[in-house]
Chains A and B, each alone.
Chain A
Amino acid sequence: EPEVTQTPSHQVTQMGQEVILRCVPISNHLYFYWYRQILGQKVEFLVSFYNNEISEKSEIFDDQFSVERPDGSNFTLKIRSTKLEDSAMYFCANPGHLNYGYTFGSGTRLTVV
Chain B
Amino acid sequence: GESVGLHLPTLSVQEGDNSIINCAYSNSASDYFIWYKQESGKGPQFIIDIRSNMDKRQGQRVTVLLNKTVKHLSLQIAATQPGDSAVYFCAEKETSYDKVIFGPGTSLSVIP
A interface residues with partner B (beta carbon < 8 Å): 4, 31, 33, 35, 40-45, 48, 56, 91, 93, 95-96, 99-107
Q: Is the beta-carbon distance between B6 and A107 smaller than 8 angstroms? A: no
The number of residue pairs between A and B whose CB atoms lie closer than 8 Å in the complex comes to 62
Q: Which of A91, A93, A102 has the most CB atoms of chain B within a 10 A radius of its CB?
A: A102
Q: CA of A56 to CA of B94 in the docked complex: distance in angstroms?
A: 14
Residues of chain B with a CB closer than 8 A to A101's CB = 34, 36, 46, 49, 91, 100
Residues of chain B with a CB closer than 8 A to A106's CB = 41-43
Q: Is the beta-carbon distance between B43 and A42 smaller than 8 angstroms? A: no
Residues of chain A with a CB closer than 8 A to B43's CB = 4, 91, 93, 104-107
Total chain B interface residues with beta-carbon distance under 8 A: 27
User: Of B100, B104, B105, which contacts A102 at CB under 8 A?
Assistant: B100
Q: CA of A107 to CA of B34 in the docked complex: distance in angstroms?
A: 20
User: Of A31, A35, A100, A104, which contacts B93 at CB under 8 A?
Assistant: A100
